[in-house]
């Protein structure tokens, strides 16, 4: 009986050690200022998307994307058109959830990582989940962060639009 209890306990410990939430491992990797600031900024980005606050989304978008994408006003109008299309199809944002980043990469004194975002929406009275990954970048040692929604990019186009992507960056699948 004691062996069975030990086996069950061991099984539960092993499975919980490898369990991961679909949004990402929500257990804080470290309460370091860079991570705390990253999560705060990513949450602000996700909530701005959900609230259709496109000026705020543009403010939190990577400067290279703003420049290569035709400027802040063009980015805002593009975001608004996408939001209007989703609303017209019957989607409504309910809430958001930010996952944690796996690690920081350093590229020419710029911190970079990927942050998974989970959007909860309603559609025709049903709950729907949508996933997105954000490329996150900080040029001030993690005090502030800018983002690129990776839904609109692949590895090559991200590197074309963002000038300083780390050579170690692995595009999420």
Task: Give residue-wise pLDDT tens across range 46-85.
Answer: 999 999 999 999 999 999 999 999 999 999 999 999 999 9
Handedness of CA 29, 146, 135, 151 (dihedral sign): positive
pLDDT of 98-126, one tens digit each?
A: 998 878 999 998 999 999 999 999 998 89
Estimate the share of the chain in helix, then strand, then coil, as percent rounded to the nearest 5: 45, 25, 30
Which of 13-17, 70-74, 150-154 has the least mean pLDDT? 13-17
Domains of the chain: 33-161 (3.10.450.100)
pTM: 0.80
Q: Give the whole-number percent of the chain exceeding pLDDT 90.
A: 73
The DSSP call for residue 102 is: S
Number of H helices, E strands in the chain: 6, 5
- Give dist(CA 26, CA 28) in Å, integer: 6
pLDDT of residue 19 exceeding 70, the answer is no
**Chain-wide mean pLDDT for the chain?**
84
Q: Compute how many other C-beta atoms are within 10 angstroms of the C-beta atom of residue 49.
A: 23
Q: How confident is the model at residue 31 (pLDDT cuts 50, 70, 90)?
A: low
């Amino acid at each position: 009986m004691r062996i069975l209890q030990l086996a069950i306990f061991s099984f539960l410990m092993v499975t919980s050690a490898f369990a991961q939430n679909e949004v990402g491992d929500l257990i804080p990797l470290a309460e370091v200022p860079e991570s705390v600031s990253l999560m705060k900024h990513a949450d602000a980005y996700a909530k701005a998307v959900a609230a259709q606050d496109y000026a705020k989304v543009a403010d939190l978008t990577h400067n290279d994307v703003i420049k290569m994408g035709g400027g802040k006003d063009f980015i805002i109008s593009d975001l608004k058109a996408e939001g209007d299309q989703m609303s017209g199809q019957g989607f409504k944002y309910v809430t958001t959830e930010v996952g944690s980043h796996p690690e920081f990469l350093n590229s020419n004194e710029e911190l970079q990582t990927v942050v998974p975002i989970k959007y909860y929406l309603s559609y025709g009275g049903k709950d729907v989940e949508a996933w997105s990954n954000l490329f996150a970048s900080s040029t001030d040692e993690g005090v502030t962060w800018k983002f690129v929604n990776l839904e609109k990019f692949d590895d090559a186009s991200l590197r074309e639009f963002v000038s300083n992507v780390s050579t170690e960056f692995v595009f999420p699948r």
